[in-house]
Structure formats: structure tokens, C-alpha cells
């Protein structure tokens, strides 16, 4: 492994985060403005797609941008974000939630890549159906936890390796973090949930297209975004 490249990439991502943050705070990218697309940011800053995605994940975790499905990433008004007041039980759940997400990053990124190799047509349809169910629940204002878990479980089953699905089944719905934090403002926020759905779509399409590296990257971005979001609750 090229350790120099490994060290360099986080610094490049942080430089991009700092630049975009400055543009947002200075009004060059005002509230409601759409961020440049990933290819545009790659070309503008001479960085890889991985660096761009890491930077956007960080901006999302900071509440500075939010995705709108089918349209792109938009600047949000972070000053209007309501103060987060957690219950004692939720506060106690933070360390365990972070450990769970760390484990899921290690397991599910590889599961997504293997699923892209091995999934059958029926298994692809099961993943798609779970995501469709989640979209319906968002539209209806219902509980999305079951459908979210079903999506991740369907991917684990599409690896055709018993242990991936068995591991996720043992955790059950508690592996979906927002189910443990009902007082979080965006736990049932439609805009936030549409962002989650958009991330699921990227994972799904990479698996459907049998692109393991894209599936691995999309799942990693999805879970790291959650990890960073819940890490912020410790501050």
C-alpha cells in the first residue's frame, strides 16, 4: 500500500472541505445554491472522485449541504438547524452506535462489492423492492426503519455467503442508528430521508450494474456519512 497516498488523500479532502466551507460562509455559494457536480469538482480542484465524495460527506455531516434526490447537492442554512437535546438513554447509546457503524463499514462495504459480483436477478429485485418500500414510506410519512434494514439485509443475502446475512440478522433493526435516536430532528425529516434514499440508489445501481468497486465505494460513503453524523453528537 502507498502510505504516502493514504496520508495525502484525507488532507486533500480536508482542503476541499475548507474551500467549499469558505465559499458557503462568504456567500459565494448561498443557501439554496446547488454544489457543482462531482465531475465538475474533480476537474476544478484536480482531485479524485473519492476525495470529492469524502469532502461532501464531511459537509453533509456538518449540516452545510443536503442532497435532493435526482437533482444534486444543495447548500442548507446551518444556522436554522435546531439545537439537539438528547435523552439520557440516547446519550448512553452514542458509543455503542459508533462501534456498530465502525463494524458495519468493515463488513458491509465488502458485502456490497461481493453482491455486485454474485447477485442473481431475483436478489437484485429484492434489493430494489426494499428500496422502493422505503421510498413509499417516506412519501407516506411512515416508519422507514424496517425498509431500511431490509435493504441492507437484501444486499447481505445477495453475497450468497451465509455469514454476511447471519451477522446482520443478529443485529436486527438496531443496526439502523436513527431508530435509537427518536428525538433527533432529522430522524423523520423527509429531506434527510430522501438523502438516505439517494445514497441507497447509488449502491443499488452499482450492484445492478455489477460494478464491485463502485458498490464498495457507495456503501462506504453511505455508512461513513452516518458515522460522522453520530460522532458529532459526542461534542
pLDDT at position 72 over 90: no
Burial of 122 per CB tally in 10 Å (0-12, 13-18, 19+) = exposed
Same domain, 97 and 184: yes
Instruction: Quick: pLDDT tens for 26-68.
Output: 889 898 899 999 899 999 999 888 888 878 877 876 778 888 8
pLDDT at position 91 over 80: no
Same domain, 26 and 131: no
Same domain, 192 and 138: yes
Same domain, 14 and 56: yes
Same domain, 12 and 95: no
Q: What is the rounded average pLDDT of the residues 199-226?
A: 94
Domain finish residue from 50, 80, 110: 80
pLDDT at position 198 over 90: no
**Averaging pLDDT over each range in 51-60, 168-177, 210-219, which range is the top one?**
210-219
Same domain, 94 and 16: no
Range of the domain at 60: 3-80
pLDDT at position 235 over 70: no
Domain finish residue from 39, 54, 80: 80
pLDDT at position 9 over 90: no
Q: Distance between CA 166 and CA 221 in Å, rounded?
A: 23
Instruction: Quick: pLDDT tens for 109-150.
Output: 999 999 999 999 999 999 999 999 999 999 898 999 999 999
Q: Pick the residue with more confidence: 58 or 15? A: 15
Please count the structural domains in the chain: 2
Same domain, 114 and 224: yes
Same domain, 141 and 58: no
Report the CATH number that the domain containing residue 145 is assigned in CATH.
1.20.120.530
Domain finish residue from 46, 80, 114: 80
pTM of structure: 0.69
Q: Pick the residue with more confidence: 153 or 174? A: 153
Angle between helices 38-45 and 49-61 (to 10 degrees): 110
pLDDT at position 182 over 50: yes
Q: Distance between CA 164 and CA 2 in Å, rounded?
A: 29
| Residue 88 pLDDT | 72
**Rounded mean pLDDT of the chain?**
85
Amino acid at each position: 500500500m502507498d502510505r504516502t497516498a493514504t496520508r495525502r488523500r484525507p488532507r486533500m479532502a480536508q482542503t476541499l472541505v475548507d474551500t467549499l466551507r469558505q465559499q458557503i460562509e462568504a456567500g459565494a455559494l448561498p443557501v439554496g445554491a446547488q454544489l457543482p457536480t462531482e465531475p465538475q469538482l474533480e476537474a476544478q480542484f484536480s482531485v479524485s472522485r473519492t476525495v470529492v465524495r469524502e469532502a461532501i460527506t464531511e459537509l453533509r455531516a456538518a449540516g452545510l449541504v443536503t442532497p435532493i434526490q435526482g437533482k444534486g447537492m444543495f447548500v442548507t442554512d446551518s444556522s436554522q438547524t435546531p439545537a439537539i437535546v438528547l435523552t439520557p438513554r440516547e446519550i448512553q447509546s452514542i458509543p455503542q452506535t459508533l462501534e456498530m457503524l465502525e463494524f458495519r463499514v468493515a463488513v458491509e462495504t465488502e458485502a456490497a462489492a461481493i453482491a455486485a459480483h454474485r447477485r442473481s436477478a431475483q436478489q437484485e429485485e429484492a434489493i430494489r423492492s426494499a428500496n422502493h418500500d422505503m421510498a413509499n414510506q417516506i412519501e407516506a410519512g411512515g416508519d422507514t426503519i424496517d425498509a431500511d434494514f431490509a435493504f441492507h439485509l437484501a444486499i447481505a443475502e445477495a453475497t450468497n455467503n451465509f455469514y454476511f446475512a447471519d451477522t446482520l440478522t443478529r443485529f436486527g433493526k438496531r443496526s439502523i442508528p436513527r431508530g435509537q435516536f427518536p428525538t433527533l430532528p432529522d430522524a423523520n425529516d423527509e429531506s434527510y430521508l430522501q438523502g438516505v434514499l439517494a445514497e441507497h440508489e447509488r449502491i443499488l445501481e452499482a450492484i445492478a450494474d455489477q460494478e464491485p468497486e463502485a458498490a464498495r465505494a457507495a456503501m462506504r460513503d453511505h455508512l461513513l456519512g452516518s458515522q460522522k453524523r453520530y460522532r458529532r453528537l459526542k461534542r
